[in-house]
Structure 1
Amino acid sequence: MGNRKIFSLAFLLLLLTLLLFACNNDDSADSGTDTGTDSGDTGDSGDSGEEKVLVFGRGGDSVSLDPITVTDGESFKVTKNIFDTLINFGEQDTEIEPGLATDWEAAEDGLTYTLTLREGVMFHDGTEFNADAVVANFERWAGGDADQFPYYGSMFGGFGDEDGHVIESVTATGDYEVEFKLKRPQAPFLKNLAMSPFGIASPTAVEAAGDSFGDNPVGTGPFTFVDWSRNDSVTIEKFDDYWIEDEPKLDRVIFRSIPDNSARLNALLSGEIDLADGITPSDGATIEGDDNLQLFERPSMNVGYLGMTVTREPFDDPLVRQAMNHAIDKQAIVDAFFEGRAEVAKNPIPPVISGYNDNIEGYEYDPDRARELLAEAGLPDGFDMELYAMPVPRPYMPDGQKVAEAIQSNLADIGVNAEIVSFEWATYLEKAANGEADAFLLGWTGDNGDADNFLYVLLDQDNIGSNNYTYYENQALHDLLIAAQTEVDEDVRNDLYMQAQEIIHEDAPWVPLAHSTPLLAGGSNVVDFKPHPTGSDKLSAVDLE
């Protein structure tokens, strides 16, 4: 009996232990359903020790994650956080500050710049950042062409031994010192170095990856690349050895592509994403009225425009281009689609840029005058054309399709039959750059706060086939823009840029539409997000409460 009692008691204790173990396992399984890597996890970790994951909803996918190969803001939105530049811009302006270079010195003649580099910086692949790495990057860029590296040619006048190429040599004069020698002075040279395309890449990774480097980028930035699911999401994660102490604050950032404006807003309202750009002006009041959200205004430094490819008939005739300018009711477009958060454009540069020519009288909305100009051009009955409408919202144009429809209606009033066409974003840019569009909607957010970055980059003959999608060329304009680049006296530069805008106004390769104040929105838990006027936002200081 005694043995049986002992056995029964032991058996009961065993059953109780098994039951407790099973209960604990069930509790653990239940709690696990709230974790994981789903892109809807907004990472609101508080003090729980969980990962801080910020999900950034955007209107389109990146074209490449190798910043030197692209010109689009969606690519730079990601690469800004993977790569550092030699020089930084201010937190919300384009004043230059130290970056990978801690100091710089310019010779009096403006032909030599010596940069002192930051020590102890590592690339994500474990290799060291030093002067040789800087030289390797510039040798790679200078050895390319406009198809490979469009921004390099646009900002530094060409490649290799080409006459217009500004940079004569880049030399490592010490382990952490680099000397740039220029063929001629370039006033915005240091500001150019701060631009997103010139993020410094790991030479080791570039050599290993070759043409596929844009699919697996390696820089020195606050975040390392993890994964890219095309047309869906890009994931980056915290670089533990980043050279700025206590940054980044976030463990991961997921950039989600949500092309539809309403779907992106709904994702924000439901908490699926933490930040959203491309907020339409009409939704601004909704954001401001929700205590769980906050509205951000990006400092305005952009222009949205209708470009006309001047090598295609009938846009090879300036009378036709002037007619297009008179035919489009820009004020109505701003009123209908920007809700007071934009101003009508008359020049290719925004008023905040030094050298803006406010004395120019914009083309008035005047359909009668437009018809007269078409008649003078031998087109009294109008003509047929294709009008490219952007497939994604952009800061300078929140809804390209609706703007295209408004333009289509305006053009019909003067006998021009515009068929609206569109393509996936990367294809759209490629076709426009190749001169395949009759006319196309596009825009530009300034990269460095200098007039050169608008007028020379977008409308000079040196940049045909890269950023000059209109294929417009004018030798007198070119001479003015090169003179303005070379001139170091700011007043003289401004006068040259004002003259340049008069030429562009008369030749009319664009219909400048609007300078917008782009809107973004985020959850109330997003801390220290500061939208940058260039459109490239560094997220290293951003946190989640």
Structure 2
Amino acid sequence: MSGNDPAQRGMPRRRFMKLGIYVVGAGGIAAACGDDAAAPAPTTTAAPSGTAAPTTTAAAATTTAAPATTAAPTTTAAAGPPIGGVLRLGTTGAGPRETVDPHAGGGSNANVARKFNLHARLQEIRADMAVENTLAEIIEPNADGSAYTIRLIDGAEFHHGKSIEAEDVMFSIQRMAEGGIMRDVLELADVANIRIVDRLTIELPMLTPAFVYSKSWGELASGIAPIDYDPETNPAGSGPFKLVDWVPGEETILGRHENYFGDPGSGGPYLDEVRLISFSDDLSRTNALLSGQIDAMDSVPIGQIPVVEGTDGLAVLEAEAGRVMFFYMRNDRPPFDDVRVRQAIRLIADRSQMVNQALSGRGAVANDLFSPFDPCYASEIPQRTQDIAEARRLLEAAGQSGLTIDLNVSPVIAGVVEAAQVLAQQATEAGVTINVVNLDPGDYYASWPDGWEFGFEFFANLQYPVIAPIVNGPGAFFNMPAWEDQEWLDLLLKARTEPDDEARCNIFKEMQALEHERGGYLIWGRANITDGYSTAYDGFVSHRLGRSFGQYDMRPVHQV
């Protein structure tokens, strides 16, 4: 494996503590909760079954969550929330494939939470989906789109005290282009010939004129790292929290970055520490919240929302229809190398039933397309609905009548396993047998990047110009169906080089029409984000983008 592989980046606790780069925060290292490290064996079912409730929830609806054991706030910012305290946040982990690297792939909620808290970005996607400059003061193309000027704000610092300057942005962009998500976004940028204009300014040349990079710098793998960054020897970041300690698949301890954007205590971060505790399943994570072992958790299982809401001292934060839920079908492997089989599976799905049963109605149906909040979303494409007769006809024409196939899933987020079970039941009407294989998250992601013939994933509601090359480009990091369509690729290049916004938007809609007709995704719904937390804390934010706690934004969170 290369150094860009997510499993290769980042450093386990033993080596990190030997280096002694940071001072361990108050409270030391918390032990892993209970038996969470024990991964359940894969199970196979052909039809839906009831989802087991957490063992402690029967009484939880009428009981009180155990009190937090974290330290009380120590100081108060002028006319602002108190500063201090420790938050224990339970997330879905990915075992040894977890990483602290800002430019490696996603892979789990734990990785996402680390990336957004350890590393600031040139831009930030706000709750209303507007893109605003943060570390960047200016990002703009020249008149012909042959180069972009990126100028930084002055006064921002990395965790180890170095000023954030042009050389660091150049280093980070070049590193982004080596692999991971941003590699596909930056394929038109001539990253090898970035020019430093002055201490705070770079010029990013294009390989061909392009007009899509003015608002492309707020995503997951676009964090800014120092020029001397190394995931093992110098994992310094630029975000609101710094890395204190971590054990992949178990726990990460983050400490407050006092000089975050040169203005400590103003707008956060307020907490002394955030402890990210990795869990392998919904059951253990939910029980930990109900019993007070953690103070917050991402993705409360749909069936447990009333239990959490009915427990004194706990609450649920819900963001409307933010997370794109889908199954993918590998186009380079039978039976999905035949577009008729892919079309049939999409026609088998009763999306309304999937949303109602798997998400308890907490979401909205989707139409096999990404980016529903993008201004260039192709809303004029008719909503695909269930058509069993046509699905049977397509399967017969493809020689796949009576198809039997495994659908590999994992309880990474609420509704995934349940949706697979509902789809399996619907498929029987078309004579198709879908065996739902429920895997531990670590086992599921161990297949990355090759993936499964038939698997699941979920995505944030990213801008279409950002997500399109990531999920559909040949060899792209998240092209899980391995879909290749030359007509689509020609349109992508045409759109990226089109200077007129309206004309570019129309091209994007043409691309979406091809995805809808030929693609390898069954995008069945948009799920509300439902996160649980202790009311001993305040400041949690929701976000339509589709990630928990407003992209795991711990800056405004504080103890009450």
Structure 1 length-normalised TM: 0.81
Cross-structure match for 1:172: 196
1:402 aligns with 2:418: yes
Q: Which shifted more, 100-109 or 300-309?
A: 100-109
Paired AA for residue 387 in structure 1 = L
Deviations 1:243-302 (A, max 9, x none): 233142100001112333243233223322222111123333344445523321235443
What amino acid is aligned across from residue 461 of structure 2 in structure 1? G
Residue from 234, 238, 254 that aligns with 2:275: 254
| Counterpart residue number, 2:111 | 75
Is structure 2 residue 403 aligned with structure 1 residue 378? Answer: no
Q: CA deviation at 1:445?
A: 0.9
Match of 1:153 among 183, 192, 202: 183
Code of the residue aligned with 2:470 in structure 1: it is: V
Distance change (3 Å), C-alpha of 1:281 and 1:401: closer
Let me know the Cα RMSD of the aligned residues.
Answer: 2.7
Structure 2 CA distance, aligned partners of 1:301 and 1:453? 17
Q: Quote how far apart the aligned CAs of 1:168 are.
A: 6.5
Aligned counterpart for 1:515 among listed residues 517, 523, 526: 526
Q: Which runs of 5+ in 2 are unaligned?
A: 1-25, 34-67, 77-82
Aligned counterparts of 1:462 and 1:486: Cα–Cα separation in 2: 21
Whether the 8 Å CA contact 2:357–2:422 is kept in 1: the answer is no
Counterpart of 2:353?
Answer: 332
Q: Is the 8 A contact 1:344 1:515 kept in 2?
A: yes
CA shift, 1:317, in A, is: 0.8
- Are the equivalent residues in 2 in contact too, given 1:125–1:205 (CA < 8 A)? no
Aligned to 1:139: 174
Q: How does 1:16-95 map to 2 (within 5 A)?
A: 38=30, 42-43=69-70, 45-46=72-73, 52-61=85-94, 63-72=98-107, 73-90=109-126, 92-95=127-130
- Partner SS state of residue 81, structure 1: helix
Deviation at 1:82, TM superposition (A): 0.9
Q: How far does residue 117 in structure 1 lie from its aligned partner after superposition? A: 1.9
**1:514–1:255 Cα change, 3 Å:** same
Structure 1 counterpart of 2:408, one-letter code: Y
Aligned residues: 484
User: What corresponds to 1:439 in structure 2?
Assistant: 454
Give 1:9's aligned residue: none
Distance 2:540 2:70 in 1: 16
Query: Which has a greater percent of helix?
Result: 1
Residue 348 and residue 386 in structure 1: after superposition, are their counterparts in 2 closer, same or farther (change >3 A)? same
Q: Contact conserved, 1:297 with 1:518, CA < 8 A, in 2?
A: yes
Q: Is the 8 A contact 1:307 1:511 kept in 2?
A: yes
Q: 1:115 aligns with which of 150, 158, 172?
A: 150
Q: Is structure 2 residue 197 aligned with structure 1 residue 197?
A: no
Higher Cα Rg, which structure:
1
- Deviation by residue 1:402-425 (Cα, 9 ceiling, x = unmatched): 222222233334333333335453
Give me the whole-angstrom Cα distance separating, in 1, the residues matched to 2:502 and 2:368.
Answer: 19
Indicate which of 198, 203, 224 corresponds to 2:242.
Answer: 224
Q: Is the 8 Å Cα contact of residues 309 and 470 (structure 1) preserved in structure 2?
A: yes
Q: CA deviation at 1:98?
A: 3.1
Paired residue secondary structure (1:69): coil
1:484 counterpart residue number: 495
Quote the offset at 1:169 in angstroms.
3.0
Q: Percent identity of the aligned residues?
A: 25
Residues 98, 451 of structure 1: alpha-carbon distance in 2 compared, 3 angstrom cutoff: closer
For 2:496 and 2:441, locate their aligned partners in 1 and report how far apart those are by CA, in whole Å.
32
- Cα deviation, 1:512-538, whole Å, max 9, x if unaligned, reads 110111111212122222133442222
Structure 1 gaps of 5+ residues are 1-33, 158-163
Q: 1:270 to 1:491 in 2, by over 3 A?
A: same
1:418 alignment partner, SS class: strand
> What is the CA deviation profile of residues 374-397 of structure 1, one whole-angstrom value per residue up to 9, with x for unaligned ones?
1111223x233221112422xxxx
Alignment partner, residue 436 of structure 2: 420
Aligned match of 1:539? 554
Name 2:21's counterpart in structure 1: none
Q: Which residue of 2 aligns with 1:3?
A: none
Q: Are the equivalent residues in 2 in contact too, given 1:69–1:150 (CA < 8 A)?
A: yes
The corresponding residue for 2:472 is 459
Deviations 1:444-498 (A, max 9, x none): 1134xx21233332123352xx210101111111122222223343322332222
Give the superposition deviation at 1:35: 7.1
Partner of 1:7: none
Q: Closer, same or farther in 2 for the Cα pair 1:225/1:71, shift >3 Å?
A: same
Report what 1:320 is aligned to.
341
From the superposition, tell whether residues 488 and 298 of structure 1 become closer, same or farther in structure 2 (CA, over 3 Å).
farther
Q: Per the alignment, do residues 420 and 285 of structure 1 end up closer, same or farther by CA in structure 2, a change over 3 Å counting?
A: closer
- Partner Cα separation in structure 1 for residue 189 and residue 149 of structure 2: 19
- Report the CA distance between 1:76 and its aligned residue: 2.0
Q: 2:284 aligns with which of 237, 258, 263?
A: 263
Aligned partners of 1:63 and 1:74 also within 8 Å: yes
> Which amino acid letter does the alignment assign opposite residue 406 of structure 2?
E
In 1: Cα distance, 2:315 partner to 2:213 partner: 37
- Paired with 1:231 and 1:414, the residues of 2 have a C-alpha distance of 40
Alignment of 1:518-529 (within 5 A): 518-529=529-540
| CA 1:187–1:370: 2 relative to 1, 3 Å | same
Say whether the 8 Å CA contact 2:174–2:191 is kept in structure 1: no
Output one character per residue of 1:193-249: Cα deviation in whole Å (capped at 9) or x when no partner.
22231111122232xx5xx46xx7321222111222232211111123332331421
1:181 counterpart = 2:205 = yes
For the residues of structure 2 that align with 1:359 and 1:331, how far apart are their CA atoms? 19
The amino acid that maps onto 1:118 is I
Relative distance call for 1:105 and 1:356 in structure 2 (3 A) is closer
Residue identity opposite 1:271 in structure 2 = G
SS of the counterpart of 2:447? helix
CA distance in 1, matches of 2:427, 2:237: 47
Q: Structure 1: how far apart are the matches of 2:171 and 2:362?
A: 43
